[in-house]
Amino acid sequence: MTFVAVPMQTKSRGTAIVSALQQRLNRPTAEKPRPVFTINRRVARAFLDESAGLESLVARMAQCLNAYPHFFILRGPPPTEDAVLTVQIAKAIAGLKPHPLARVSGQALRVSHTRVEIDRNATLATGVTRYSRTHLALTPHTDSSYNPVPHELLAFQMVRDDAEGGVSILAPIEDVLANLDDAQIVALHKTKVPFGKRSYPVLWRQQGQSHIRFYDQQIQAAVSNGAALSEAARGALQPLQDVINVPRLFHSFALRGGETLFLHNTLALHGRTGFAKDSNRLMLRIRIYAGALV
């Protein structure tokens, strides 16, 4: 599936002809595909044993992340606070191909681990990633969007789910773009927006595919720290903000304890609904650079 980055003609939002593709992508969430890999104990053990004999399974997982809807759910293992299996699967996917960054820095090989749970000390003064450690809803976003190169692969291992909230929202880039018109898409490619200390365009083309970097709270935080947000950037962001605030356009599902969500961080935005202030919901988050997803 390809999208025109810089079309010669632009259509206004109201008169855009809804294509067959758009009609398909705008189906209600319940009808959207939700890939699941269920693994048994033998396969789990094989992953822990350096992924011996799992090449075709790992290749299918990578394929699933590169193709719509750019995520899958892993089921089978019981809930655990040990992230070793998730890390091994993430490393197996990442290791399919060397990452371009690996040539310039050992950083590419490092795995980032975070416990995502309510942190009562996470005050509103402690950095932009604080939101994930509260009970608050998170609108669909890209993780590590302040990095020159955001990690390609993210995994969220649900240890303890929340029965009433914390529902995952996944917004594949195709669904986001299908709800914007060509002029809006062009503006998001051309306009730089501040994330952390630097500015980057929200959309870019890589290997014939559009990728996205977007984190509303990060942009707002950069602005409150003094970064300039031009009128052009505000204008480019508004339609995107409008779209990502409509969860019914995207995939949503409640991950249950033991399930792990793997996703392509620059081909699908992820978010969640809020939950109770005293919830004991716990997820483990893994981020890794993955050459096979570049």
Ligand X SMILES: O=C(O)CCC(=O)C(=O)O
Q: Which listed option, Fe ion, ligand X, none, makes contact with residue 174 (CB within 5 to 8 Å by class)?
A: none
Q: Binding to ligand X by residue 132, rule CB under 6 A?
A: yes
By beta-carbon proximity to Fe ion, the closer residue of 43 and 267 is 267
Q: Binding to ligand X by residue 143, rule CB under 6 A?
A: yes
By beta-carbon proximity to ligand X, the closer residue of 178 and 283 is 283
Q: Smallest gap, in angstroms, from Cβ of residue 152 to ligand X?
A: 14
Which secondary-structure segment (H or E) carries 20? helix 20-25
Q: Binding to ligand X by residue 155, rule CB under 6 A?
A: no
The CB-nearest residue to ligand X is: 132
SS3 helix, strand, coil % of the chain, rounded to 5? 35, 20, 45
Q: Smallest gap, in angstroms, from Cβ of residue 218 to ligand X?
A: 11
By beta-carbon proximity to ligand X, the closer residue of 158 and 233 is 158
Out of 46, 283, 286, 290, the only residue in the binding site for ligand X (CB under 6 A) is 283
Task: Estimate the crossing angle of helix 182-190 against helix 231-244, to 10 degrees.
Answer: 120
Q: Binding to ligand X by residue 159, rule CB under 6 A?
A: no
Q: Binding to Fe ion by residue 182, rule CB under 5 A?
A: no
What residues contact residue 262 under an 8 Å CB cut-off, 6+ apart?
61, 65, 71, 72, 73, 74, 89, 90, 93, 153, 154, 155
Q: Binding to ligand X by residue 263, rule CB under 6 A?
A: no
Q: Binding to Fe ion by residue 152, rule CB under 5 A?
A: no
Over the range 213-223, which residues count as b (16 or more CB within 10 Å of their CB) and which as e? Answer: bbbbbbbebbe
**HEC-encoded secondary structure of 48-90:** HCCCCCCHHHHHHHHHHHHCCCCEEEEECCCCCCCCHHHHHHH
Q: Binding to ligand X by residue 244, rule CB under 6 A?
A: no
By beta-carbon proximity to ligand X, the closer residue of 93 and 154 is 154
Q: Smallest gap, in angstroms, from Cβ of residue 269 to Fe ion?
A: 9
**CA–CA distance from 157 to each of 65, 78, 148 (Å)?**
16, 11, 26
By beta-carbon proximity to ligand X, the closer residue of 21 and 163 is 163
Using CB atoms within 10 Å of the CB of residue 30, give its burial: 0 to 12 exposed, 13 to 18 middle, 19+ buried.
Answer: exposed
Q: Is 148 helix (H, G, I), strand (E, B) or coil?
A: coil
Q: Binding to ligand X by residue 270, rule CB under 6 A?
A: yes
The residue count for the chain? 294
Q: Alpha helix (H) ranges present in 110-207? A: 173-178, 182-190
Query: Is cis: bond before 69, omega within 30 of 0?
Result: yes
Q: Smallest gap, in angstroms, from Cβ of residue 17 to ligand X?
A: 35
214 neighbors 142 (Cβ within 8 angstroms): yes
Out of 157, 168, 191, 279, the only residue in the binding site for ligand X (CB under 6 A) is 168
Q: Binding to Fe ion by residue 143, rule CB under 5 A?
A: yes
By beta-carbon proximity to Fe ion, the closer residue of 143 and 175 is 143
Q: Binding to ligand X by residue 116, rule CB under 6 A?
A: yes
The secondary structure of residue 111, as a DSSP letter, is P
Residues in touch with ligand X (CB under 6 A): 116, 132, 138, 143, 156, 166, 168, 270, 272, 283, 285
Give the interface with Fe ion as residue ranges (CB under 5 A): 143
